[in-house]
Structure 1
Amino acid sequence: MWLRGRTVASLMVLTAVAAGAAVWGAVQTGLLLPDENVPVLSVDGDEPGNGLRQDELDKLNKTLDLIGGQYLLPIERKQLIDGALEGMVEALGDPYSVYLSSEEAAKFTDTTEGAFTGIGADLKKENDLIVVDAPLRGSPAERAGLQPHDVILMVNGESLQGLTLSEAVAKIRGPKGTKAKLKVLRAGAKAPLELELVRDRIPVETVKSELDSAGIGRLTITQFTANTPAETANELKAMEAKGLKALIVDVRNNPGGMTNSVQKIASLLIPQGKTIVQYEYRDGRRKAETSNGSEEGKPYPIFVLMNKSSASSAEILAGALKQSAGAVLVGETTFGKGTVQINNNDELGDGSLVKLTAYKWLLPDGTWIHHKGLTPDMTVVQPEYWLAYKLPRDRVLKRDDTGEDVKNLQLILEGVGVPADRKDGYFSDATERALKTFQSRERLPVTGQLDEKTADGLEEALYSELQKPENDTQLQAALEKARESIGKRE
């Protein structure tokens, strides 16, 4: 999606960026938790858990000695040890379990100033590839059209192949105003895409609200950090004081965050004693977290807006509101992440960090949505042009050209109200006429070709269109359901 990209999907590890003065800033690859009393299970036999056997320790020491005695190039001992630990965690095959050296961990703990500079995207490492989970709302990544499941191959001409997640993030992030030219592999595209982003300051504000004249409130939560519950409580209180009659909770493109944060927010809306979430440990035992809110809950109906980018804690909130507060879910099936990670910040003793998947989370009724997602009660998909991305600036698109960039141009033309005759990536006569119509409307040179000025104009026009609530199909569907509900009550 391009700017208000709400059909993008996924999870966490903020590339330089995001919101998360939560526990370890930019490397959130799963649900963030403070220290929890997670049961430690004894492990027998050949399973990990009892430290290295003498033969295993001997093998590692011999390998270290062989490298030191025979390897051609100089290498630091610490680099070898960090590599061994990183490889051990990667061997789990779990994209949400991560090892960071002390230097890498330190890079992602300076989150006290309330903002970051970067592109604003959540990343993870999957099958040795750097994969996009979700762009943050209003971020350069969102404006450029970066989408969930995109694979970032190169940044400013430098390959990301073979890099650790933190090394890739370090290359993608950068000072405000600098450019990040990404080469991106996208499923369905015939060739890699070239996207140019301008890094910017990414604030950590996670909650905003608005109330319309009919008494319908919209509470938008972009991520769950330590401050989000207090912000949510303040916004709810303000709307209720002005006569809130129905509430829309918008968690589209919300990649998740701290589970204790989402539990506090759920308690604001769910009646006391009702289940918010269940946690299941590896021995099969379960623990239910219940609401400590008011006994009667809220007097107004609740609707939840969600999409493919709603993940993790966002899914916990949506599922809890549906099953324990009678909320109606509107939008698309969510991402489907049903595991919880624990940060081990101090256990290794040198500032390095291990984040490990420790247990599952389940809906109040015990359903595990991992890799399945949460299904909406009312499915609403945004128009295709919500998935448009930045147009090329390094070449002119003209009649008879073909490819993904032409297809993207045709989507944008539709979004700005001058559709071509096709959206298959062939620059036809009708595509040329549509482009001329746009150029004439915007008082640009009427060439029928896509040059830099026309690309700028198209992107600005689409941005403007996507900011209009009437063009947000999912929001309009939720508003209509809210109005119907208010009508039945009055």
Structure 2
Amino acid sequence: MRRSRFFVFALLAVIATGVFLVLDGCSADKGKSADRAMKEAFPVISEAYGVIQENTVYPVEGDRLIEGALRGMADVIGDPYSTYLSEEEAASHRESLAGEKVGIGAEITRSGGKYIIVAPVKGSPAEKAGLLPYDEIVRINGEALGGMTLQDVVKKIRGKEGTAVEMTIYRPDLNKHLELKVLRDVIPVKTVSAELMENRGKKFGYIALTMFGDETAAEWKKATDAMISGGAEALIIDVRGNPGGYLRAVEKVAGSLLQDDTIYAYMQDAKGQLTPLVVEPSEEFTFDEKLKKLPVVLLQDKGSASASEVLSGALKDLRRGFIIGQVSFGKGTVQDTMELSNGGEMKLSTHKWLTPKETWIHGKGVEVDLESIQDKLFTEHIRFSTDVYAAGDYHEDIAYGQRLLAGLGYSLDRDDGYFDESTALAVHAFRVDAGVSAESIMDRKFFTALQEKVESYRKDKANDIQLQVAIGYIHHLLSE
């Protein structure tokens, strides 16, 4: 049985290989008691298995019954982060933090019962094969998709590197079906993006971390080296929406900003015993020493969780950085994964993690030094719709459109999803401004234009309220 330590994503249970640690279990007396309880329970479990197999009018495979029992054991703990994952689920979740994936490189969504291409990744096999946004996937390898879940569709598209997947797609703009063959390939997963910014004569590095994955430390080094060589006088670290990831990755990031031998967090076991996590010189990466002296501002929001909270908690407690934004998610537990003989994994919360001041942020989050509420257009999830809505209709897609229109400055009386007269006027005005046919309906062309307008709005950093607050504070720090 292999055990591995890592920080999992909040809400999305992402399983991956982490720092290898063997943890002591319960006491000898408790172990004997547990063994005795298991021996007494096995006959009952076996009996229930047989009863179901022989008598149920709803046929079910034996493996599914076993997996159901395993899920039940994890569920009864009452911990949202303790769970059982099948072999397939565990492999899929491990891939989420991998440095690269094998696939076609396209985001897919389900809208109105249809499976739609949101966007192909630039330079990906999907883009090379000619897939476009709003293409509807009709068949995969000749098989229709009726009755499939989104997970089923994604599973059919995935495969081994170098193999091809044949797709029948419907392209609305051409009103015709097309047959495409896409060659699966390795798709790099980038977790760090950086930009050297200059504002009012001051240079500073802006570095965004979307998660703490396999390659984050290497990407962080590359980004910070570029910022230092470019003459950055301070850093803005953006972990907004970062759900967490590997402990080893956040350790490298924090370690590059803190002095060696600094305690950046604590682990606390079930007995309350604390183990300090200390910054040590990296054998793999040599970071520029200037990093440890640069002023740091960190941006976080309620979507910043787990490993990203380890970073913000360390910077805050050690007064190494100034935190701007909103209180973080609040996930202060650590999970171990144990491989089971059926290929699945049991994930259990076995430890708490505490900040350098020994604060447990679970359910509370890391407090900010300066609160800043973000523009709603930055927090709205972009969604696709292929349906058509007009006055008198009621739907969540309409509410989504109303919220975005209001955020862009159009006047509406409501945003509850009812298509009233004020909505019709706003939709008509937007379509005219966007150069789309002057109608008072929400259709594919409307939603496409709306998405483009919002994405353009988001790309303009002047509209990012929290970032502008951070830039203002950077000027304050550099002027002292």
Report the TM-score, using the length of structure 1 for normalisation.
0.73
Q: How does 1:373-384 map to 2 (within 5 A)?
A: 373-384=365-376
User: Which of these residues, 326, 331, 341, is aligned with residue 332 of structure 1?
Assistant: 326
Is the counterpart of residue 321 in structure 1 residue 315 in structure 2? yes
1:420/1:79 Cα in 2 relative to 1: closer, same or farther (>3 Å)?
A: closer
1:320 Cα deviation after fit: 0.8
Cα 1:106/1:393, change in 2 over 3 Å: closer
1:38-84 CA-to-partner distances (Å, cap 9, x unmatched) read 22222646997436444322222322333344344554433333322
2:214 paired residue number: 226
CA contact (8 A) 1:388 1:412 kept: no
Counterpart of 1:266 in structure 2: which amino acid?
A: A
- The match for 1:469 among 456, 461, 474 is 461
Instruction: Specify the code of the residue in structure 2 equivalent to 1:396.
Output: Y
Which of 383, 387, 393 is matched with 1:394 structurally?
Answer: 387
Larger relative CO (CA 8 A, sep 6+): 1 or 2? 1
* In structure 2, C-alpha distance between the alignment counterparts of 1:116 and 1:45, rounded to whole Å: 45
1:38 and 2:38 matched: no
Please name the residue that 1:11 is paired with: 10
Counterpart of 2:232 in structure 1 is: 244
Asked if the contact 1:32–1:340 (Cα under 8 Å) also holds between the matched residues in 2, the reply is no
Give the superposition deviation at 1:412: 1.4
Which residue, 55, 73, 79 being the options, matches 1:70? 55
User: SS at 2:292's partner residue?
Assistant: coil
Larger helix fraction of residues: 2
Give the Cα–Cα distance (whole angstroms) in 1 for the partners of residues 44 and 327 of structure 2. 48
Q: In percent, how many aligned pairs have the same letter?
A: 31
State the distance in 2 between where 1:256 and 1:73 align: 41
2:388–2:441 CA contact under 8 A, matched in 1: no
Q: CA deviation at 1:476?
A: 1.2
Q: 3-state SS of the aligned residue for 1:407?
A: helix
SS across alignment from 1:215: strand
Superposition deviation, residue 225 in structure 1: 1.6
Give the match's secondary structure for 2:157.
Answer: coil
The verdict on how the C-alpha distance between 1:403 and 1:383 changes in structure 2, with shifts beyond 3 A counting, is farther
Distance 1:375 1:429 in 2: 43
Give 1:256 deviation, angstroms.
Answer: 0.5
- 1:175 maps to what in 2? 157
Q: Do the aligned residues in 2 keep the contact of 1:42 with 1:49 (CA within 8 Å)? A: no
Q: Structure 1 63/395 Cα, relative in aligned 2: closer, same or farther at 3 Å?
A: same
- 2:270 paired residue number: 282
How far apart are the structure 2 equivalents of 1:448 and 1:321? 51
1:232-291 residue CA offsets vs partner (Å, 9 max, x unmatched): 122112211111111011111111011122112100001223221111100110111122
SS of the equivalent of 1:484 reads: helix
Shift of 1:479: 1.1
Residue 134 (structure 1) aligns with: none
Aligned to 2:179: none
1:28 and 2:14 matched:
yes
Q: Are 2:434 and 1:434 aligned?
A: no
Give the distance between the partners of 2:386 and 2:248, measured in 1 at CA.
45
Distance 1:242 1:296, change over 3 A: closer
8 A contact 1:11–1:256 mirrored in 2: yes
Contact 1:271 1:297 in 2 (8 A): no
Q: In 1, distance between residues paired with 2:233 and 2:354?
A: 30
Unpaired runs of 5+ residues, structure 2, are: 1-8, 109-120, 123-132, 134-144, 159-164, 169-184, 282-287
* Cα gap change, 1:61 to 1:446, in 2 (>3 Å): closer
Q: Distance in 2 between matches of 1:362 and 1:481?
A: 28
**Aligned-pair CA distance for 1:34:** 2.7
Provide the TM-score with structure 2 as the length reference. Answer: 0.74
What pairs with 1:49-198 in structure 2 (closer than 5 Å)?
Answer: 49-50=34-35, 52-72=37-57, 75-106=60-91, 114-115=100-101, 169-170=151-152, 175=157
The RMSD of aligned alpha carbons is 3.5
Question: Radius of gyration: which is bigger?
Answer: 2
2:268 is equivalent to residue 310 of structure 1: no
Question: Please, which of 443, 450, 453 is the counterpart of residue 451 of structure 1?
Answer: 443
Equivalent runs, 1:407-422 vs 2, <5 Å: 407-420=399-412, 422=414
2:99 touches 2:215 (CA, 8 Å); kept in 1?
no
CA spacing shift, 1:315–1:435, aligned 2, 3 Å: same
Distance across 2 between alignment mates of 1:104 and 1:277 = 30
Report deviation, 1:440.
1.8
How many equivalent pairs are there? 405
